[in-house]
Amino acid sequence: MATNEDTLLQQSAHAARSRHGMVTTPHRAASEAGAEVLRRGGTAIEAVIAAGAALTVLYPHFCGLGGDAVWIVADSEGRRDAIMGIGQAAEALPKLDVIPTRGPLSTLTTAALVDSWGKALDYSRTHWGGSESFASLLGDAIEFAAGGFPVSQSQAHWHAFRKDEIDGWPGVSRFFVKEGVQHQPQLAAVLEEIALHGYRTFYEGDVADRIASGLEAAGSPIRKRDLEKTFATLAAPLSLAYRDVELLAPPPPSQGVTTLSIMGILSNFAMQDIAPDTSQFYHLCAEAIKQAFLERGGIADPAFIEQDCAAWLGQDFLATKARKIDRNVALPWPAPFRNGDTVFLAATDAQGRSASVLQSTYYDWGSGVLLEDTGILWQNRGAAFSTDPKSPNMIAPGKRPFYTLNPGIALRDGQPAILYGTQGADGQPQTLTLLLSRLIDHGLDPLSALSAPRFLLGRTFSDSRDNLKIEQSVGSDVIDTLSSYGHGVVAIPELSALAGQAGVIKIGGDGWIDGAHDPRSDGCAVGV
């Protein structure tokens, strides 16, 4: 690719370098859709909406119109906000002893993704001078859905992984192919309606009528009145000072406080002096994660349960946790298993205005309930609720569930410096811990940080044991040492899908922007 000093220095399979803006997503076509918005002068928010809409089509197994989104946005003028696009539980809930993870009774919450796009676009117009419309931003997504696109490596993987279940999900096996070209004409029609009539048609208009009818016919408790009450909200992000940056994370019910807690615990160690490819590095990261996860069970909807985030992020509290870490002994994993998958995408524009976003239908393929006349696959985020009356996350009408979505932005001198996030439910804070230390403590570039070996603590789709699954590329010496500390180590393949799909954009003080998406994904960063 031809380059010049003022525009693009490097574009590789997963990474890019630029001076004028950057988009990163887990699918190349989605990254290009966002980059095209930046090329025509659009804002980072507008680029993310275009890329995110494309992903609802290109990555239907991980995100879609029937899901949610959580945003962190920041700019050089001091704005820093979270957009919490989290649907609420239905008003008329069935009596449940156990919350199903699939099927109609797992469709317990509404979908706030589309409203988050609307709130974000309003934010862009109000604060960043944005001028794009849904008609212009949804064009690529509509074209992909109507014209067809090659099935991604990720979709093929998760279709094959769920082959024994998919046939039991009405419509899913007919609508979604495991290989070849995917068409979604019904979804294209819904996107066209949103482009023509505005985003609230999803909740109050003709589209809402069809969605509500489809959900009721499937056996869901969600009704049109629940859709009408679905709104994304603007909230102040949580923050934590780490080395020379300020880390921003979404507030509860997101687990953003957990990621910040981990980094706050690690701030008590000289991580910059511990090489990021050593057993001690992995051990300290794992033990800090365990300590932070001890409080994670208290995260819930702040409208229902008071959240003492200030205490959880207090310096003395975090220092006490750090002192509990034995540098040569592993503690047992304290967290109950939570499934879940999502997509991370981010963009920064020529003015440094930045958006870091996660979109999700919770589990891969969500609830497994497809509304066939709209092509919308509904999420099963209600599976994150509890039926235990003593739980802060006890299900209740209108309540938002505990939320794994956890995008972040790091500020340096008040300016957006690093945009980051990852797929992976329980694995999100874990992957972010490794990435942030490598990026901040050790100064790695995005692709190097993303390519380095990672681990996953706890249970997974295929392993019910609470062990430390670590990519075998760490080497046998590291694995042996971690085992000697008491970690139940299981080696997994290099660049394993279990280790998540993360993305990073790093904005340098010299004006250069470096971005990458995980080599474990189909995606890339695209500079403009």
Provide the pLDDT for residue 342. Answer: 84
Q: What pLDDT was estimated at residue 5?
A: 41
Q: Of 10 and 322, which is predicted with more confidence?
A: 322
Q: What is the model's pTM?
A: 0.95
What's the average model confidence in pLDDT over 327-352? 84
The whole-chain average pLDDT of the chain stands at 93
pLDDT score of 464 more than 70: no
Written as one letter, the residue type at 73 is V
Closest CA to 451 of 371, 516, 498, 364: 516
Dihedrals φ, ψ of 342, to 5°?
Answer: -165, -175
Give the three-state DSSP class for 148: coil
Average pLDDT over residues 10-28: 89
Which pLDDT does position 129 carry in this prediction?
Answer: 98
Q: What residues contact 417, with CB distance under 8 A and at least 6 apart?
A: 245, 410, 411, 506, 507
Answer whether residue 4 shows pLDDT above 50: no
431 belongs to the catalytic site: no
Contact 42, 33 (CB under 8 A): no
d(CA 356, CA 254): 14
pLDDT tens, residue by residue, 93-134: 999 999 999 999 999 999 999 999 999 999 999 999 999 999
DSSP string over 36-90: HHHHTT--HHHHHHHHHHHHHHH-TTT--TBSEEEEEEE-TTS-EEEEEE---B-
Which pLDDT band holds residue 341 (cuts at 50, 70, 90)? low
Backbone φ and ψ for 135, nearest 5 degrees, come out as: -60, -40
Of how many residues is the chain composed?
Answer: 528
Tell me, what's the pLDDT at 12?
Answer: 67
Query: Locate tokens 């066939």: which residue?
Result: 372
Of residues 342, 361, 433, 460, which has the active-site annotation?
Answer: 342
Helical H segments across 72-198, by residue range: 113-128, 134-137, 139-147, 153-161, 163-166, 172-175, 185-197
Cα 244 to Cα 334, 417, 461: the distances in Å are 31, 11, 37
Q: Give the confidence band of 460 by pLDDT, cuts at 50, 70, 90.
A: low
d(CA 61, CA 373): 18
Q: Using the Cα atoms of residue 137, residue 140, residue 143 and residue 144 in order, give the sign of their dihedral.
A: negative
Q: What is the pLDDT of residues 41-81, one digit of tens each?
A: 999 999 999 999 999 999 999 999 999 999 999 999 999 99
pLDDT 10s digits, 234-251: 999 999 999 999 999 999
**What separation in angstroms does the CA of 92 have from each of 88, 188, 298, 437?**
12, 31, 25, 45
Under the banding of pLDDT at 50, 70 and 90, the label for residue 266 is very high
Give the rounded percent of residues in the chain with a pLDDT score beyond 70.
Answer: 95
- What was the pLDDT predicted at 11? 61
pLDDT, position 170: 74
pLDDT in tens, 156-169: 989 998 988 998 88
pLDDT surpassing 80 at residue 327: yes
Enumerate the domain spans of the chain.
8-234+342-384, 236-340+409-527
Helix (H) or strand (E) holding 14: none
- Residue 336: per-residue pLDDT: 59
Task: Write down the architecture of domain 236-340+409-527 according to CATH.
Answer: 4-Layer Sandwich (3.60)
Q: Up-side HSE of residue 499: CA atoms within 13 Å toward CB?
A: 27
Q: What is the pLDDT of residue 1?
A: 30
Q: What are 61's two structure tokens?
A: 């197994």
How much is the average pLDDT of 352-364? 96
For residue 469, list its beta bridge partners: 456, 490
Helix, strand, or coil (residue 298): helix
Distance CA 224, CA 242 (A): 45
Per-residue pLDDT reduced to its tens digit, 415-459: 999 999 998 888 899 999 999 999 999 999 999 999 999 999 976
pLDDT tens digit sequence for 376-428: 999 999 999 999 999 999 999 999 999 999 999 999 999 999 999 998 888 89
